[in-house]
Structures are given as C-alpha cells and as structure tokens.
Chains A and B, each alone.
Chain A
Amino acid sequence: ETGVTQTPRHLVMGMTNKKSLKCEQHLGHNAMYWYKQSAKKPLELMFVYSLEERVENNSVPSRFSPECPNSSHLFLHLHTLQPEDSALYLCASSPNVLESTDTQYFGPGTRLTVL
C-alpha cells in the first residue's frame, strides 16, 4: 500500500473522447505530480502542484489539463488525444515541493490507450 491511489487503472479512448484520470493521496502531503511513462523513454514530469497551486508545467500540450481541487486530489483531464499519447500515467506525492531530499510516493498508474 503506497498511500497513493489512481483510477481507472486502464483506459481506452478514441481521439475525440473526453476522459479524466484521478489520483488521491492519503499521506498528508502538500505536493502532487503527474508523470508520463512511455516505452523506452525516461519518465517525463508533466505537472507539479503545491498546495493546490500549479508550480510547474513542462511544455505539456493543452489537450492535457490538470486540476487540483485540494491537496489530496489531483485530476488529469484528457481531450482530443493522439495515439502517441498512449502511455502509463503516474501520479506521485511528496511532503513538500521545495524539499529535494523528500521521497516521492507513486501510485500504480493508469494505462492509457488512445485509438
């Protein structure tokens, strides 16, 4: 039990669909993250939130839209995706976005397939 849960675990969507990924952390952390994990590529940081405020956006296309309504929940809204967006999307949390020695705790991921 990592303390970070993600739903759904698997998602198949067409390019015209709109869907959302959900992440919830039960660790009392202040920072939450979205990562993209594609085959044969390093994990890519997409977004960083600290206390519900977005502090980093790593040049992610606008078809990915994050939302952090409170420090325990993080969403990734998806619309008009492309097949190359198929990947494992990982959510993580850490106690404090400014403390680089903190461990990040990862959820199990959502396996997204875009047809």
Chain B
Amino acid sequence: AQSVTQLGSHVSVSEGALVLLRCNYSSSVPPYLFWYVQYPNQGLQLLLKYTSAATLVKGINGFEAEFKKSETSFHLTKPSAHMSDAAEYFCAVILWGFSGTYKYIFGTGTRLKVLA
C-alpha cells in the first residue's frame, strides 16, 4: 500500500539558509508524488508534483524536489529561506482504487519556521 513519511514535524531555519523538508514514500507501483503548502488560516496549495517525467521537479516560490527511486525519497528544498515561507508543508502520494478513482495519502506535515 502507498504511504508517505515526513521526518520532523517542526523544522527551523534562518532567513537565507537552505530549506530541506524530508519525505520518504512507500509504493508498490511507480508513485505520483506531491508537495502542498498550507499557510496560516488557508487551505492547501500545490507547490509541485512528480508524475514520472523529469526526476527534478521545480515548483512555485523557488521550491524544488528530486525524486530518488533508490532512496524512496522526494525531499523538498529551497536554496534560500524567506520569512514568507513559514507554513506547514505536506507530502502526498497517490493511492489508486479498484474503481479507477484515486486519492491522496498525506503525510503528517512539517511546520517550517523561519528565523530572522
């Protein structure tokens, strides 16, 4: 069965420092993987997605993620953190149902804090 694990429920970085949020997946089939961001008092917004094309995926706001099959990872990075990046980040993998429908399986989220 498909699942994702996000290591670290809270991550703090200094403004201008590298952001690295970790996501490892488990999947019996080639996975589709997503990163969503949730700003305070808002719903989730797609940052980027991997759907079996290029392994390095670039998203919005300077974020990118690399699909590494050998490590079963899809970590999210940004070279230089900005105060506005403070939010909660969710990794998700697709689970297909027998009826042809699908659903997201989300991780528990990582709250990113950016220090001035």
By a beta-carbon cutoff of 8 Å, the part of chain A in contact with chain B is 2, 4, 6, 40-43, 45, 48, 50, 55-56, 58, 90-92, 97-98, 100-101, 103-104, 106-109
The total of interchain contacts (Cβ-Cβ below 8 angstroms) comes to 60
Residues of chain B within 8 A of A104, CB atoms compared: 44, 46, 104
B96, B106, B108, most chain A CB atoms within 10 A: B106
B87-116 interface (Cβ within 8 A of A)? 90, 94, 96-97, 99-109
B20-65 interface (Cβ within 8 A of A)? 32, 36, 41-46, 49, 51
For this complex, into which size category does the number of interface residues on chain B fall? 20 to 34
Residues of chain A within 8 A of B94, CB atoms compared: 100
Taken together as a complex, chains A and B put the C-alpha atoms of A93 and B111 apart, in Å, by 24
Contact partner of B43 (CB less than 8 A), chosen from A40, A48, A90, is A90
A interface: dominant SS: loop
21 contacts between A and B (CB under 8 A): A2-B43, A40-B9, A42-B106, A42-B108, A42-B109, A43-B90, A45-B104, A48-B101, A48-B103, A50-B101, A97-B101, A98-B101, A98-B102, A101-B51, A103-B46, A103-B49, A104-B44, A106-B44, A106-B45, A109-B42, A109-B43
